[in-house]
Amino acid sequence: MVILGTIVNAVAIIIGGILGYLFSNTPNKLQELIMQGIGLTIIIQGISMGLKSDNFLLIIVSIVVGSIIGELLEIDGRLNQLGKWIEDKIGGKSKGNIANAFVTATLVYTIGAMAILGALNSGLNLDHSLLYIKSMLDGFSAIIFSSTLGIGVVISAIPVFIYQGSIALLARYIHLFLSQELLDAMITEITATGGILILAIAINILEIKKIKVANMLPAIFIAPIGVILVNYFL
């Protein structure tokens, strides 16, 4: 099954999120320290991903153009509205935390090399090993996120399923039109662009400055388009 790895990933997030929520009575100071630790590790991940680029000018253009598109579409605002709508429907003691937990977890789980590479590998080769590894990582991090941010982490499994599942299904046909060399170049620049967004997420987690990371998401799709344009027209 093409989306088997994606299904396992979504289930791992749900299970981890529920476990974390059940053990969420952690002292506030410890929760804050844990989130700071997560933020610092995400910074390292973002830097390592961002440095993979072979054309940093393309990354800059992708971020700028993607941010303009995201701002016009108000992606960040719409995601927060969705989170708040979920809050209103669920309510309970987590009310007020669900939107932030949902948006933060969604961005962390979808913006990353393993999400893209794992889904592509599932679609191209029916090899789900990368997504199985990602599932374990996401499951454990969901425990931490949910214990500190709230039950909204569980709901992030839905966009993760849609995002990775769509990539996997698309990958079943994309190799018919693109060479392996071009596909590898696209993956490299997508990964590097994602690294910049991962850094922005870390800055938000550490409360250094509020960045509307969701409004930058179109950059992920601008980067591979740029690779195609550079290869065929420049």
Q: pTM of the predicted model, to two decimals?
A: 0.74
- The Cα 25–Cα 230 span in angstroms is 52
Q: Tell me 53's DSSP state.
A: -
Tokens of 37: 């630790």
- The Cα 156–Cα 20 span in angstroms is 14
* Mean pLDDT lowest among 17-21, 23-27, 144-148: 23-27
Q: Tell me 131's DSSP state.
A: H
For residue 126, give the H/E element and its range: none
Q: Which domain holds residue 43?
A: 4-233
In the numeric block, the tokens 């630790």 are attached to 37
The number of distinct structural domains making up the chain is 1
Q: From 220, 38, 226, select the one nearest 119 (Cα to Cα).
A: 220
In the numeric block, the tokens 């952690």 are attached to 26
Give pLDDT tens digits for 138-173.
898 898 888 888 888 999 999 999 999 999 998 888
Give pLDDT tens digits for 65-123.
999 999 999 988 888 787 777 767 665 544 447 778 888 888 889 876 678 778 987 88
